[in-house]
Structure 1
Amino acid sequence: MKTRTILLITLLLLSTLAVYATSSPKPIASGQVCTTFPDCWNYRKKITIKNNVDKDLTDYQINITVHYGSGTDTNYDIYLNSHSQTDFDDIRFALPNGTLLSYWNETLYPGDNATFWVKVPNIPALGTTDIYIYYGNPDAGYAGSGDDTFLFFDDFSEDLSKWTIISGTWEIINGELRCTVDSDYSYIRANYFITDAAIHVKIRVGTAGYYDNGGIIARYMDTKNYYAAIFYPDYSGHQHRLIKYTAGDFAELAHTSAPDDTNWHKLVFVLYGTSLGSWLDGNYEISATDNDHSSGYVGLRAFDTNHHFYFDDFFVRKYVSPEPTISAVGSEENRKDVTITLTPYNIALSSNDYFIAKYANDTGISIQHLTNGTNTLNIWSDFVNITLISYLSNSTARYLLDAPTNGTADFEGTIYPYTSLD
Structure 2
Amino acid sequence: MITKRSTAYVIFSVFLIFLLTGCALAATGDTSDLSTKDNSWNYSKEILITENAGKDLQGYPVAVVLNSSNFNFSETINDGSDLRFSSGDRTLNYWIETWDPENEDALIWVRLPSLSANQTTKILMKYGNPGAEAVSSGEKTFDFFDDFESNYLNELDWNAESSGGGLVEVKNGICNVSAPKVHAYDSSMIYSKKSFEINSMFVAKRMKVTTGTDNRGPVLQQGFIDQIDSKKNEIKHETELANESRVDLETIYRKQKKNLYDLTNVNVPEGEWYVSGLAWYEENNTRKISWFKNGVRDPRMDFASNDSVTNFPMHVFLYAASYKDASKNTGYMAVDYVLVRKFVGTEPTVKIISDQEEGKVSSGSVSENNSENSLEDDSEGTSEQSISENNSENVSEDDFEYSFKNSSENISETQTAAGSKPNSETFGIRLSSPYEFNFSALVNELNSSGIDTIFLSVDNEDVWQYERFVKMAHEKGISVHAVLLEDVNCTKKGAGNLCQNTLDTVLDYNEKSLAPFDGIDIDVNTSAWESPEESAIDYKTLFETANKEAKEKVSISASLPLNYTASQIKEIAPFVDFFIIKAYPGENKKLNSVSNVVDAVALEMGEIRGTGSRGIIEVSVEEGFKDKYSIEQLFTGLADYYSNDSAFLGASIFNYNTYKGLPQTQTEEKEFPIPGFNILTVILAGLGAFALLKGKKS
Structure 2 length normalisation: TM-score? 0.42
The structural deviation recorded for 1:302 is: 1.4
**1:241-300 Cα deviation digits (max 9, x unpaired):** 322356496722662112243211110000013200101223471211233332321111
Would you say 1:300 and 2:318 are equivalent positions? Answer: yes
In structure 2, C-alpha distance between the alignment counterparts of 1:289 and 1:65, rounded to whole Å: 29
Q: Which moved more, 1:129-138 or 1:180-189?
A: 180-189
**Partner of 1:82: helix, strand, or coil?**
helix
Query: Which residues in structure 2 correspond to 1:74-89 (within 5 Å)?
Result: 79-80=71-72, 82-89=74-81
In structure 2, C-alpha distance between the alignment counterparts of 1:172 and 1:330, rounded to whole Å: 42
Pick one of 256, 279, 282 that aligns with 2:292. Answer: 279
Would you say 1:243 and 2:241 are equivalent positions? Answer: no
In structure 1, C-alpha distance between the alignment counterparts of 2:362 and 2:144, rounded to whole Å: 41
2:154 is matched with 160
In structure 1, C-alpha distance between the alignment counterparts of 2:297 and 2:348, rounded to whole Å: 22
Structure 1 pair 252–332 and aligned structure 2 pair: CA distance change class (3 A): same
Pick one of 116, 125, 143 that aligns with 2:108. Answer: 116
Query: Which residues in structure 2 correspond to 1:105-254 (within 5 Å)?
Result: 105-111=96-102, 112-158=104-150, 159-161=153-155, 162-167=157-162, 168-181=166-179, 183-196=185-198, 197-207=200-210, 209-210=215-216, 212-222=218-228, 224-225=231-232, 226-232=234-240, 234=242, 238-245=245-252, 247=255, 251-252=259-260
Check whether the contact 1:215–1:267 (CA below 8 A) recurs between aligned residues: no
2:348 is matched with 324
2:20 is matched with 7
The structural deviation recorded for 1:136 is: 0.7
Check whether the contact 1:61–1:150 (CA below 8 A) recurs between aligned residues: yes
The structural deviation recorded for 1:89 is: 1.2
Would you say 1:336 and 2:359 are equivalent positions? Answer: yes
- Larger relative strand fraction: 1
Unaligned runs of 5+ in 2: 1-13, 25-35, 323-328, 366-388, 396-672, 680-698
Query: Which residues in structure 2 correspond to 1:352-391 (within 5 Å)?
Result: 374=394
1:91 is matched with 83
Residue 346 of structure 2 aligns to which amino acid in structure 1? P
Structure 1 pair 402–157 and aligned structure 2 pair: CA distance change class (3 A): farther
In structure 1, C-alpha distance between the alignment counterparts of 2:364 and 2:60, rounded to whole Å: 29
2:303 is matched with 288
Structure 1 pair 47–365 and aligned structure 2 pair: CA distance change class (3 A): closer
Structure 1 pair 297–121 and aligned structure 2 pair: CA distance change class (3 A): same
Structure 1 pair 402–198 and aligned structure 2 pair: CA distance change class (3 A): same
Structure 1 pair 133–252 and aligned structure 2 pair: CA distance change class (3 A): same
Structure 1 pair 256–324 and aligned structure 2 pair: CA distance change class (3 A): same
Percent identical: 24
In structure 1, C-alpha distance between the alignment counterparts of 2:242 and 2:262, rounded to whole Å: 18
Check whether the contact 2:41–2:127 (CA below 8 A) recurs between aligned residues: yes
1:396 is matched with none
Check whether the contact 2:39–2:359 (CA below 8 A) recurs between aligned residues: no
**1:222-244 Cα deviation digits (max 9, x unpaired):** 36441112333515x61333223
The structural deviation recorded for 1:301 is: 1.4
Structure 1 pair 129–248 and aligned structure 2 pair: CA distance change class (3 A): closer
**Partner of 2:190: helix, strand, or coil?**
strand
Check whether the contact 2:280–2:290 (CA below 8 A) recurs between aligned residues: yes
Structure 1 pair 114–164 and aligned structure 2 pair: CA distance change class (3 A): same
In structure 2, C-alpha distance between the alignment counterparts of 1:174 and 1:6, rounded to whole Å: 61
- Larger relative helix fraction: 2
In structure 2, C-alpha distance between the alignment counterparts of 1:64 and 1:314, rounded to whole Å: 19
In structure 2, C-alpha distance between the alignment counterparts of 1:107 and 1:207, rounded to whole Å: 27
In structure 2, C-alpha distance between the alignment counterparts of 1:270 and 1:157, rounded to whole Å: 25
Check whether the contact 1:233–1:258 (CA below 8 A) recurs between aligned residues: no
Structure 1 pair 253–206 and aligned structure 2 pair: CA distance change class (3 A): closer
2:55 is matched with 55
Q: Which moved more, 1:307-316 or 1:79-88?
A: 79-88
The structural deviation recorded for 1:199 is: 0.8
Unaligned runs of 5+ in 1: 11-35, 74-78, 338-363, 376-388, 391-398, 404-422
Structure 1 pair 91–109 and aligned structure 2 pair: CA distance change class (3 A): same
1:413 is matched with none
**Partner of 2:354: helix, strand, or coil?**
coil
Check whether the contact 2:167–2:187 (CA below 8 A) recurs between aligned residues: no
Residue 160 of structure 1 aligns to which amino acid in structure 2? N
In structure 1, C-alpha distance between the alignment counterparts of 2:281 and 2:123, rounded to whole Å: 26
Residue 189 of structure 1 aligns to which amino acid in structure 2? Y
In structure 1, C-alpha distance between the alignment counterparts of 2:264 and 2:129, rounded to whole Å: 45
Check whether the contact 1:275–1:289 (CA below 8 A) recurs between aligned residues: yes
**Partner of 2:77: helix, strand, or coil?**
coil
The structural deviation recorded for 1:169 is: 1.1
The structural deviation recorded for 1:198 is: 0.7
Structure 1 pair 308–248 and aligned structure 2 pair: CA distance change class (3 A): farther
- Aligned length in residues: 322
